Amino acid sequence: MGDIHGLFVATAMTIPSDVPISAEDTAILGINITGQPYVVTIAAMLSPGGFVDVDGRPDVERIRDFLEPRVAREAELQQRPERRDGRWWWVHVPVVMSAHITVESVSGDDGFETLCGRKVMEALPPDRPLWHIALVPGARPGRCGIVVRLHHAVVDGARASALLERLFDPVESPDTAEPPEAGAPRVTAARDGPSFGARLRHGLRMFLRRPVRSRVLLGPVSAARDVGATSVDLARLDAGARARGATVNDAYLFAVGQGLRTVLTDAGESIPDGITVSVPVRIASRDGTHNAVGVMLVTVPLAECEGALGIIAQRTSEAKPLARAAGSSVGSPRFTRLFNLFTRHQRVIATVASNVRGPRHVLALDGAPLTEMWALGPLAGNLRVGFTAASYAGRLSVGIECDAGHLTSASRIATSVGRALQSIADH
pLDDT, mean of residues 20-38 = 80
Say what angle helices 410-425 and 234-242 make with each other, to 10 degrees: 60
Amino acid present at 377: G
Q: Looking at the domain assignment, is residue 13 inside a domain?
A: no
Task: Tell me the pLDDT tens digit for each residue of 89-115.
Answer: 999 999 999 999 999 999 888 999 999
**Can you give the CATH number for the domain in which 228 is found?**
3.30.559.30
Question: How would you classify residue 394: left for phi > 0, otherwise alpha for psi between -120 and 50, otherwise beta?
Answer: left
Q: How confident is the model at residue 194 (pLDDT cuts 50, 70, 90)?
A: low
Both 135 and 211 in one domain: the answer is no
DSSP-derived letter for residue 323 is H
Q: Domain residues for 410?
A: 180-425
Of 148, 170, 192, the position where a domain reaches its end is 170
Tell me the mean pLDDT in the region 175-181.
45
Which phi-psi region, left, alpha or beta, contains residue 123 (left: φ > 0; alpha: ψ -120 to 50)? Answer: beta
Where residue 111 sits, what CATH number does that domain have?
A: 3.30.559.10
What pLDDT is recorded for position 57? 97
Tell me which range, 16-25, 85-94, 288-297, is most confidently predicted by mean pLDDT.
85-94
Asked, for residue 30, whether it belongs to a domain, the answer is: yes
Give yes or no: residues 92 and 185 share one domain.
no
Strand order in the sheet with 87-92: 19-20, 87-92, 79-84
Same structural domain, 213 and 150: no
Residue 348 has pLDDT above 50, yes or no: yes
Please give the Cα distance from 347 to 219 (Å, whole number): 10
- Is residue 8 domain-resident? no
Provide the pLDDT for residue 239: 97
- Domain finish residue from 122, 151, 170: 170
133 and 190 within one domain: no
255 and 394, same structural domain?
yes
Q: Are residues 210 and 356 in the same domain?
A: yes
Q: Do 186 and 149 sit in the same domain of this protein?
A: no
Distant-in-sequence, close-in-space partners of 387: CB < 8 Å, separation ≥ 6: 256, 259, 351, 352, 353, 354, 398, 399, 400, 417
8 Å CB contact between 424 and 396? no
**Residue 11 domain-assigned?**
no
Do 113 and 219 fall into the same domain? no
Per the structure, how many domains does the chain have? 2
Decide: 70 and 169 in contact? Cβ < 8 Å.
no
Q: Is the distance from CB of 51 to CB of 367 less than 8 angstroms?
A: yes
Where does a domain end: 170, 204, 229? Answer: 170
Is residue 287 pLDDT above 60, yes or no?
Answer: no
Instruction: Say if 1 falls within a structural domain.
Output: no
Separation CA 206–CA 298 (nearest Å): 9
pLDDT digits (tens, 9 = 90+) for 111-169: 999 999 999 999 999 999 999 999 999 999 999 999 999 999 998 888 899 999 999 99
Q: How far apart are CA 390 and CA 185, in angstroms?
A: 13
